[in-house]
Chains A and B, each alone.
Chain A
Amino acid sequence: TNQERMFLVFTEWVKLLQRVPGDDVKVTVFIRQMIDKGVLNTTDNMIQFTKAALELSVGSFKESDPTSEVFIATDAFSKLIVNLLVLQDFAGMNRSEYLRLMISVITMVFSEDQGRMGNSFNERPYFRLISSLLCEWENISGHNFVKIQDQYYRSQLNEFTPEFYNIIASFLHVYQPIAFPGFSFAWITLISHRMFLPKMLRLPEKAGWSKLVLLFTDLLKFMAQYTKKNDVPDAVSVVYKGALRVFLAVANDSPDFLVENHYELLNHLPHVYMQLRNVILSAIPKDLAIPNPYDPNLRIDGVESCQDAPNVFYDPVQDLKSLKKPVDNYLRIPSTSLLRVISTNVFKQEFQKDNGIGYDTVSVDTKLINAIVLHVGVEAALEKHKTTANAIFNTKSSYYTLLASLLNDGTAEVRFHVVQAIANQLRYPNAHTQWFNYVLKNFFLEDWDADTAEIQEIIIRTLLERIVTNKPHCWGIIVTFTDLLKSPECSILTLPFVMDIPEVEMIIKNL
């Protein structure tokens, strides 16, 4: 049968690779013969061949002695895919479609296998297939495909490379833990694979960043969904540990990725993961020297890097939805009616369960609030750049009053999430950190009539929770809290809500 012939061809390929090195001319000849004899000349044949090769690979893994080489067929299949992508002249179908087709078939087989086997499903051969695919691509693509002699094909393949990684990323998105929990640990290992993650981080023009953010938010959403405050399943706890290590590695290698994508990442980060939040927010651009935040003589206005606004990869204005016009209009021409529109539209349609420190539900659209706060900060920094600092370091500026009115008109819950969103911008010394430091200090010292104590307490709580954690601590949080501690206008230790809680009083005294 046709299928049997497919099995035969693939088996011959596996045997060939064991006898000759991968770059031997016989390998190229084999591929050429496959193409010339029409083994893969139709979409149907491609689908059938891919299925056959994968079934043989997975089958051979399952049947192999675990102490022997169990991945021979799987590795051979990966090598075949890469050779087909590189050695063919793509006339009819383009390379992207070709790769997508093969991986779609792999996905179908994977999904069927997983559905059939349930708890006995073994993720390892599928992991190995993608891992080896990444290794083989790396091998052939080194130094801009210098192993390919023809200049035209070399430039085609170079152009294709970002597409290659983004296609893999798209399929990893399909395989995410919420969809295929039986593949979760393989999945986390794949998104952090040494031949995938650093490549995606460093593709020219940040071409891999959107998909990477998508994958990290897939991970965070899964963790958020199944992290209960006091009863975290062991497996989820292990997921967390792995995620933490991956984020620490990213913070080391590519802090700019975390700096520019903090908004989207934090939108999906469970509030209880306070240390991980600090890891993301403490990222500092490479080669930026920052002053000691504990220096008693430090003045944030004197820090040079506060002249520069941080890059924001994803513009939060896209998340403002129906509030985009009111917010932008208010910033240009403040009016109380616009404020009312904004303040009344920050709520969700219904209560949602949430895992917060001190709260279990959320009725506020926190993503919207985060978007408003960041958007206002971005606009304020732009304004400062266009005009003067006085335009925004001014409690009468529309930037300030918009946020102040959210506090003034809001419930405790609204106030809390607005202050949290502001605290998320207190990061390394930059224009946003400087402005939000100004905003929060003034919020703390302002007279809110009967609500003063509540707002002050929310501010102290928000800053304190980011300092009592194990390190790292954000520079902007330390500086802001220090500013409040040093403030001659208000002694925190005399505030009733601080004195009421001896443990907190003690911590603040120590600080």
Chain B
Amino acid sequence: TMPAEMASQLESSLLNCPDSLDADTPHLHHNTLSLPHPTSIFFPNET
């Protein structure tokens, strides 16, 4: 049987599980293609 402490650490690991964003390639220096600009609220606001 899994010891209680191990089980709760495993649960905690599950809660913090890295996702695909965490695994993505780092880009420290962001070359901005253009300046921020207020655009229509109907445009998608997530890349």
Contact = CB atoms under 8 A, between A and B. Distances in A.
B13 A71 contact: no
Contact of B28 (A18, A122, A177): A18
Given A121-B9, A235-B10, A185 B29 contact: no
A71 B23 CA distance: 11
Contacts of B47: none
A21 B6 CA distance: 43
A20 interface: yes
Nearest to A74: B26
A78 B26 CA distance: 10
Given A124-B18, A189-B17, A235 B11 contact: yes
Contacts of A183: 13
B12 A121 contact: yes
Interface in B1-47: 1-2, 5-14, 16-18, 22-23, 25-26, 28-29, 31
B2 A233 contact: yes
Given A128-B22, A189-B23, A233-B7, A182 B28 contact: no
Given A119-B12, A226-B2, A185 B17 contact: yes
Given A181-B6, A185-B18, A226-B2, A22 B12 contact: no
A238 B23 contact: no
A135 interface: yes
A237 to B, nearest CB: 10
Contact of A131 (B10, B14, B23): B23
A238 B7 CA distance: 13
Contact of A184 (B10, B25, B26, B28): B10
Interface in A108-132: 118-124, 127-128, 131-132
Contacts of B25: 132, 135, 139
B22 A21 contact: no
Contacts of A72: 28
Main secondary structure of the interface of A (DSSP, over half): helix
A232 to B, nearest CB: 10
A76 interface: yes
A120 B12 CA distance: 7
Contacts of B6: 181
A19 interface: yes
Nearest to B14: A235
A106 interface: no
A131 B22 contact: yes
Nearest to B2: A226
B9 A181 contact: yes
B22 A185 contact: no
Given A71-B26, A226-B2, A123 B8 contact: no
A79 B9 contact: no
A122 B23 CA distance: 15
Interface in A161-186: 177, 181-186
Contact of B29 (A17, A177, A194): A17
Given A124-B18, A189-B18, A182 B13 contact: yes
A78 B1 CA distance: 38
A154 interface: no
B33 to A, nearest CB: 14
A264 interface: no
Nearest to A242: B17
A287 B2 CA distance: 43
B10 A181 contact: yes
Interface of B: 1-2, 5-14, 16-18, 22-23, 25-26, 28-29, 31
Given A121-B9, A135-B25, A235-B14, 14 more contacts: A22-B29, A119-B9, A123-B16, A127-B18, A131-B22, A131-B23, A181-B6, A181-B9, A182-B12, A182-B13, A186-B18, A228-B1, A235-B13, A238-B14
- What 4 A-B pairs are tightest by C-beta distance, nearest first? A75-B26, A182-B9, A185-B17, A181-B9
29 contacts: A19-B29, A20-B29, A22-B28, A75-B26, A76-B28, A118-B5, A118-B9, A121-B9, A121-B12, A122-B16, A123-B18, A124-B16, A127-B18, A131-B18, A132-B25, A135-B26, A136-B26, A139-B25, A182-B10, A184-B14, A185-B13, A185-B18, A186-B13, A186-B17, A189-B18, A226-B2, A235-B7, A235-B13, A236-B2
